[in-house]
Structure formats: structure tokens, C-alpha cells
Chain A
Amino acid sequence: MAKTPLQFSHNGRDVAIFVDGGTNLLVALRELIGDMTPKFGCGQGGCGTCSVLIDGELHLSCLTLAETVAGRSVETLDGIKDGPNLHPLQRAFADNFAAQCGYCTPGMLMAAKALLDRNPQPSRAEVVEAISGNICRCTGYEPIINAVLAAASGGRARA
């Protein structure tokens, strides 16, 4: 099958790849661009660990056809830190012990970033709502919710 050329912005950098028809964005990011931060969990939108931002909106990359991001901006966990400095959400996740095995963490961080980008001071209920499409096996969610609230309040609080 003929491959299709595809150009988009990946974490602020223009990339150009060739994709097979039907390739999903998760595969394009991991296998063609080499960005391993979005994880493959269920492959059908049930777990949230493949979450990325497309033009600032939260999307499940495993359910997104790669060709639909042509000319758009895709942001992954790999792009959220500022040089050597962790993003405030990453810092808060570490400080609040919000990761154990870490497999859900990329999706949790992207879901949390999507929330804080549009609502910098969310309520607890809004944080719960924002990460409700993401499954975590280890933490019991409480430390993750606390970490997002701590990041929102400038990383001071340990709720």
C-alpha cells in the first residue's frame, strides 16, 4: 500500500513522516518519530495512558488516525518540561508520590495539563473529572489528585 506523507508539529518541532493508511497516532509517535512517552495500554480508548494534546485538546492517540493531525500541533509528555527543568505538574507528581509503576503517569500528566491550561485553579471535583478517563492500578488516585491540586496552587500544598 502506498504510504502517505504527513507533516505536523511535534512538541513545537515540525516533523515529516510517511504513514500507511490507517496508522494511528500512537504508533506514528512511538514507532516513526521515536517518542516513547505516550504508552500503549488497551489500544481501544479504555485506559488513557496514550493521551496527548492536539491543538491543546486532550485526545486518545490510540484512537486517532495519524493523518488527521496533518498541519496540527501535537504535544506529548516528552515536550512538557522546560529544558532540564521539570514541568510543575511533573514536580508535583514526584513530591506527592503520585506514581508507582508509572505506566499511567504520561496519560495522567497530559490529562492534568489539559485541565490546568484551561482552568489554572480547579476544584477537587474538576480534577477528578479531568482524569476520569485514565485508569491507575497502583496509587488509588488520591496522590494523583493531590499532586494536580498542589501544582495548581504553585506546588506549595501537600493536601
Chain B
Amino acid sequence: MTRHRGRGIASVNYPIGMNLGGDPSQALVHSNPSGKFTVALSSIDLGQGMKSVTRQICAETLGVPVEDVYVDTADSDTGPHCMGSFASRGTHRVGNAVMAAAREARGVMMEAAAEELEVNAADLETDGRGNIHVKGAPHRSISTKDVAIAAQFKQGKTISGRGIFLVPLSDVDPETGEMSPATCYAHACLVAEVEVDDETGEVDMVRMDSAYELGRALNPRLVEQQLVGGAWMGVSHALYETPEPYYPEPVHGPRDFVEYLMPGPGDICPHDIAVLERPAPDGPFGAKGPGEMCANPVLPAVANAIFNAVGVRIDDLPITPEKVLRAIKAQGGARPQPRR
């Protein structure tokens, strides 16, 4: 028996969101008389961090501290419409909607502050710490709380804003079939190194090296968390997981976590990640989306690494020991490819 090392590479060009129906999301932002703000969304945060990122986007746009913003998500009965959390669309689509809503709310807040300070709203600025003051005259100042109270009880204004982000629907050109399915693309490149046992067909991950280009990383630690976990999910799809192990025959499929294979903490490998930031022109503060793309390049890179190691080309997933072993037998033994 021999264990063969192999290295594979894959690059992806990842469209953020989708084009069906324009892929819209809405957001509503309003202030409470306490001077704090609520963002209402139907979008759901499954742990990726969309709540944190939309909170940051709202606070930055309003010019208030992030602690003063509360994000209320995931009630599609009462919240404004959202297409959902998928296709890496949360930061980009929902973030843009929140930004638009916060911009409108900021306009009302500045008008209300202008009325209290008896100045023109264009002469006011926020200090990011919960105050609004006259440009160049910080002592002519009012807190966002006092503005909210004045708007509510004196001026009869709602400090609120509506936001929607809708990608113009791209029709298919009947002559060429050409269309623009997305307006924003993220990119990734990943090198996977594996070790393949030619007697058992087992594939061990040795290491991964990757570069992800995802617009501006609005919350670098959340981005890192997505990339580390998402890449590992890619390994899981490449080598372990399937609901249909005997496709197209569905019987004998996994019924629970004991039969549905997933890698454990002992199966992970070192992963060196470089984050490249090229702000997107239509992203909120330049952000694209680091979601699904974390996993995508891993699958082809692992398949290529296995080919490099033993010369077999497996094109259906997951790449189980059985498939590797059958393919090695069919070609009469492992044929390691040159390493570049």
C-alpha cells in the first residue's frame, strides 16, 4: 500500500444573489423616543452574522453608535419582504436595503434636528456618538434622543425610512442567449493538498491555501468565521456528505446523523486564508458576500488533487473511498501525476 500526495487548484467567479424576479429585499428603519433605532427585516440570520452586519451598516449610515441600533429579524408575518438568506445575498441585498432605509431616516432626523437648532439641515453633521451638531460649531449640538423626543412629542414627525434593493431584471437576448444574471461578482482561488491511500481509497486532507476576494470585509472576524467554516463545509461535501448514497435508488439512504457522514474535529487540516478586498460599486460600503463562495472552490480543488495524486478523475460527489478504489482498480493501479 502506498499513500500518494496530490495537489489541486480551483477558481470560482461567484455571482452574489440571483436574478429571478430581481431578487429584492426590503428594510424599514425607525427611531424610538429613546433615540435608539430599530431595523425591521424578514431576512433571517442563521449564524452567518447578518444581524451584526446590518446593524453596523445602519449605524454607520445614520451616524449613530452601533449600540443604539437594534435589528429585529425573521418574522415574515410582520417584517418587510425579503427573498431569503441564500446565494450569499444577505450582506449585499439586505445591506443595501438597510442603507437606503437608514439614509431616508437620517434625512428626517437631520430635518428634525435642524428645526430644534434653528439652522439649515445641510449645515448639520452627526458625531457618531449620539449627537448632531452644526458643522464647525460643535457646541451647537443636540442629542439624537432629544431629536427623537422633539419629533415624537412636538413636531409630529416619524423619524423613519424605507429601503428596498432590487436588481433590474435582465432579460435573455433571443439571438445570443446572453443575459446578466448578477451585478456583483466575488472571486476565490483555492489550492487543496490531499493524501490518497491506494489500498483503501481513503482521502485525507493535508492542507488548504486560499484567497477570497469579497469586496470590502465589513466585519473582518465574521468574514474569517465564514471562510474557515464554509471551506470546511466544502470539504464535507467533497468527501463525506450525501442524502442519496445510492442515487438514483433512494433506499438505504441515511436516516440520521449516524449514517449521514460528516467530518469530525479530528479530520480538519490547516487552512491558510488571504482575504482580498476590492470594494464593489453597488455593494453597501463596497461589500459583496462571503457566504456560499467559501465552500465552492473546495470541491473541484479536492477532485483535482485526487487526480493529481492517483490519476483518477471522479466527477460525482461525494468522492468516497469506494469510488476512488474502484477507479484505481479500473485503470490498473494508481498513476500519480506530475506535481507542479
Interface residues of A (CB under 8 A from B): 41-42, 44-47, 97, 99-102, 128-129, 131-132, 134-145
Contact = CB atoms under 8 A, between A and B. Distances in A.
B266 A132 contact: yes
Nearest to A47: B257
Given A46-B256, A135-B257, A142-B228, 19 more contacts: A42-B257, A42-B258, A44-B256, A45-B258, A47-B257, A97-B221, A99-B47, A100-B229, A101-B47, A102-B47, A132-B264, A132-B266, A137-B262, A139-B229, A140-B233, A140-B268, A141-B265, A142-B232, A142-B268
Interface in B277-334: none
Contacts of A145: 265
| Interface secondary structure of A, over-half rule | loop
Contact of A141 (B46, B257, B258, B268): B268
Contacts of B231: 140
Given A42-B256, A46-B258, A99-B47, A140 B228 contact: yes
A134 B263 CA distance: 10
Contacts of B34: none
26 contacts: A42-B258, A44-B256, A44-B257, A44-B258, A47-B257, A100-B47, A100-B48, A100-B49, A102-B47, A128-B265, A129-B266, A131-B265, A134-B265, A135-B257, A137-B262, A138-B229, A138-B233, A139-B228, A140-B228, A140-B229, A140-B231, A140-B271, A141-B232, A143-B225, A143-B228, A144-B265
A45 B229 CA distance: 23
Interface of B: 46-49, 221-222, 224-225, 228-233, 256-258, 262, 264-266, 268, 271
B233 A137 contact: yes
Contacts of B228: 139-140, 142-143
A56 B14 CA distance: 48
A22 to B, nearest CB: 20
Contacts of B48: 100
A41 B258 CA distance: 11
B292 to A, nearest CB: 13
Nearest to B46: A101
B225 A100 contact: yes
B211 to A, nearest CB: 17
Contacts of B230: 140
Nearest to B49: A100
Contacts of A45: 258
B258 A140 contact: no
Nearest to A130: B265
A139 B225 contact: yes
Nearest to A101: B47
A5 B85 CA distance: 47
A97 B265 contact: no
A135 B262 contact: yes
Contacts of A135: 257, 262, 264
A139 B221 CA distance: 13
A62 B231 CA distance: 31
Nearest to A135: B262
B68 to A, nearest CB: 21
B302 to A, nearest CB: 15
A45 B264 CA distance: 14
A128 B265 CA distance: 6
Which A-B residue pairs are the 3 nearest by beta carbons? A140-B232, A100-B47, A101-B47
Given A139-B229, A140-B233, A97 B222 contact: yes
A35 B271 CA distance: 38
A39 to B, nearest CB: 13
Contact of A138 (B47, B257, B271): B47
Nearest to A41: B257
B226 to A, nearest CB: 8
A136 B263 CA distance: 9
Contacts of A44: 256-258
